[in-house]
Amino acid sequence: MNRGVFRFISVGSTVSWIVLFVVIPYLFVVLFSTVSYEGLISGVIDLSLDGFREICSSVFLEVCISSFSLALGATVLTLLVAYPYAYILTRLPEAVKRVMLLLMIIPFWTSSLVRTYALIILLKANGIVNSVLLYAGLIDEPLSMLYTQWSVFAGLVYTLLPFMVLPIYSSLQKLDWRLVEAARDLGATPFSVFARVVLPLTMPGLIAGSTMVFLPALGLFYIPDLLGGARSMLIGNYIKNQFLVAGNWSAGSAASVVLTLLMCLCIYGYFLSARKARTESMGGMP
Amino acid sequence: MMKRLAFLVALVLLPAALFGAARQVYVFNWTEYIDPDVLKQFEAETGIKVRYATYESNEAMFAKLKLVKKGGYDVAFPSTYYVERMRKHGLVTRLDKSKLPNLRHLNPTLMDKAYDPGNAYSVPYMWGSSAIGVNRKAVDPKTITSWNDLWNPRYKGKVLLMDDVREVFAMALRSMGYSGNTTDPVQIRLAYEKLLKLKPSVKVFNSDSPAQPFLNKEVIIGQIWGGAVYQANQESPDLVLVYPKEGAIFWVDNMVIPSSARDVDAAHLFIDFMCRPDVAKKNCEFIGYATANLTAQNMLSPKTKNHKAVYPGDETVKKGEFQADVGDAIRIYEKYWEMLKTR
């Protein structure tokens, strides 16, 4: 009886929270994307697809392409950093492992905006990195690091790293190392041990991590703005400007509906590939 | 027993009765845009309680006032062309000048602008400019006279522009001799084509803290707020403000009475209080922007009131332009802005 009440309250409060603050506001967004803005401010619901028509433009396509390629680049780079880190982590003694995990998680108790400003202090022309290099005589002129494509990637990778490390780490933890030993005993080179045993077995973690990095990277626009100098426009900027500058709520809503649909597609792709990876890693090697 | 109950009830109702009787004025202002002591002083002098709320952008303030039909805020602080926009949407009340005797202290060069002729709806509070910022260690400020100097190939990769569609286009339009408030699609397109040539030179777009990239040695020339130069000069004297010969762009934040106000008389009392020179001086010393109150300005320390970045002088102001509402043309601006950003 008591457990029933507890379950009702805990599940009920979560569900009502989501309905109140996610579902209902989102329904408004969907509604705004299908009515004309002129009707909206005068209180008339006037069905129109002007918002969607407006975003059918080469500009919005370019905005989408640059957002997706940025998110993809950030995901690949995060993966390249996270995989070796997670791999080394699993090979460390228990006590050191705990410290290493903690070191990665502690910065995330600070706001990511504050950490982005910290990166600016490191990377700026008269910043810490340049000062050290100049002092050491390694360079004569300060390196231009801030407001480049690479500083944007550095910021994204830094912010999203734990989302990649943790799933990979957990699937590496579950890895049966006897399989690795067996592969070695049968004469596999280190590379083929990795490519044909370790990688397929940790694929579920890798896919989960990539999804958890890719989707937020798609929406994060303050990092490219602060570290990249706001020279390009991403989907996030586009939506914000439609609402706040152009006062075009229909186009802004339409753009965020399109973004949501694209994200749903990505999550669907994740489910498909995760299922495939799981069956493959269970089904054994040919 | 009965007596005790009655006493308890009275005790519960007393504060409500007391506070219910007190008059209140609901003020809606930008964050960190008033000296908190001023509010306490107003309460002590008038007995009217101040209910204070803040916002981060004109758009947010506009959206909120648009939603509230009755019993809203008594005083709000829209910038330049938002006064006009709010008037067009019927969101502001005409001022009763007979209740605002302190208006005589205000700076006449800031009154009667295109966004509110005769100041029928708004009273200037703080104001400032955006002009050309120059790092004098890298560029001789004497060689900079015009907005067109930003296009000089010498500064390639070292230019800062505001991350604000109206500011950037106003600059480009002024550089071609047009008004920064134009609604002519042809002029806006020409400005876009000219900006496209500037884009490769631009290192960063920043309007929140444009002085930072200068102090960080990332850029050497670009658009900047006068107030930002003044603040940066407390840290380093290298950043210099140049008013271009085509005229700088000016903004004014104003006090208005929204049409959803609860107590229009209290609102007038509050606005008049804010225009009192001693109060205006307190606010401007606390915030660091230029006060629209001429009497208060003359009471400031010579170092502040003679700082050209903050108080440019009447000639410069007359040559410059105040942003006005461009109505639906903002969509044309936004379209070209998107194209500029994606190129």
pLDDT tens-digit series, residues B193-231: 999 999 999 999 998 889 999 999 999 999 999 988 988
pLDDT score for B8: 53
CATH code of domain B128-250+321-342:
3.40.190.10
Percentage of chain A beyond pLDDT 90 is 48
Nearest CA in chain A to B160: A229
Location of each CATH 3.40.190.10 domain in chain B: 18-126+251-312, 128-250+321-342
- Residue B194 tokens, joined: 């000219």
Q: What digits encode the pLDDT tens for the residues A218-232? A: 888 889 999 999 888
- Cα four-point dihedral sign B31, B33, B35, B39: negative
pLDDT score for A108: 84
Indicate the range of A186-200, A266-280, B71-85, B184-198 predicted with least confidence: A266-280
Q: What digits encode the pLDDT tens for the residues A47-75? A: 888 888 888 888 999 999 999 999 999 99
ipTM over 0.90: no
Nearest CA in chain A to B162: A230
pLDDT band of residue B42 (cuts 50, 70, 90) is very high
Residues B258-270, mean pLDDT to the nearest whole number: 95
Among A62, A146, A245, the residue with its CB nearest the CB of B342 is: A62
How far apart are the C-alpha atoms of B273 and B94, rounded to whole Å? 18
Residues A130-155, mean pLDDT to the nearest whole number: 91
pLDDT score for B34: 92
Among B57, B199, B205, the residue with its CB nearest the CB of A230 is: B205
Is B261 within 8 Å of B267 (Cβ atoms)?
Answer: yes
Whole domain around residue A255: which residue ranges?
A: 54-283
Rounded to a whole number of angstroms, the distance from the CA of B215 to the nearest CA of chain A is 9
Q: What digits encode the pLDDT tens for the residues B295-340? A: 999 999 888 888 888 899 888 998 999 988 898 899 999 999 999 9
In chain A, how many domains are there? Answer: 1
Domain assignment present for residue A273? The answer is yes
Rounded to a whole number of angstroms, the distance from the CA of B150 to the nearest CA of chain A is 17
Rounded to a whole number of angstroms, the distance from the CA of A129 to the nearest CA of chain B is 13
Nearest CA in chain A to B343: A232
Domain assignment present for residue A236? The answer is yes
Domain assignment present for residue A184? The answer is yes
- Residue A111 tokens, joined: 């706001």
A177 CB-near residues (< 8 Å, 6+ apart): none
Domain assignment present for residue A31? The answer is no
Q: What is the DSSP letter of A122?
A: H
Does residue B58 have a pLDDT over 90?
no
At the second CATH level, the architecture of B18-126+251-312 is 3-Layer(aba) Sandwich (3.40)
Domain assignment present for residue A26? The answer is no
Nearest CA in chain B to A58: B339
Q: Taking CB atoms and an 8 Å cutoff, what residues of chain A touch B213?
A: 147
Three-state SS string over chain B comes to CHHHHHHHHHHHHHHHHHHHHCCEEEEEEECCCCCHHHHHHHHHHHCCEEEEEEECCHHHHHHHHHHCCCCCCCEECCEHHHHHHHHHCCCECCCCHHHCHHHHHECHHHCCCCCCHHHCCCEEEEEEEEEEEEECCCCCHHHCCCHHHHHCHHHCCCEEECCCHHHHHHHHHHHCCCCCCCCCHHHHHHHHHHHHHHHHHEEEECCCCCHHHHHCCCCCEEEEEHHHHHHHHCCCCCEEEECCCCCCEEEEEEEECECCCCCHHHHHHHHHHHCCHHHHHHHHHHHCCEECEHHHHHCCCHHHHCCCCCCCCHHHHHHCEECCCCHHHHHHHHHHHHHHHHC
pLDDT score for A286: 41
Domain assignment present for residue A76? The answer is yes
Q: What digits encode the pLDDT tens for the residues A26-51? A: 998 998 888 877 666 666 677 888 88
Q: What digits encode the pLDDT tens for the residues B10-26? A: 555 554 445 555 899 99
The rounded mean pLDDT for chain B is: 90
B239 touches chain A (CB under 8 A): no
Q: Which of B330, B331, B275, B136 is nearest to B214 (CA)?
A: B136
pLDDT score for A171: 92
Percentage of chain B beyond pLDDT 90 is 71
CA angle A252, A255, A257 (to 5 degrees): 110
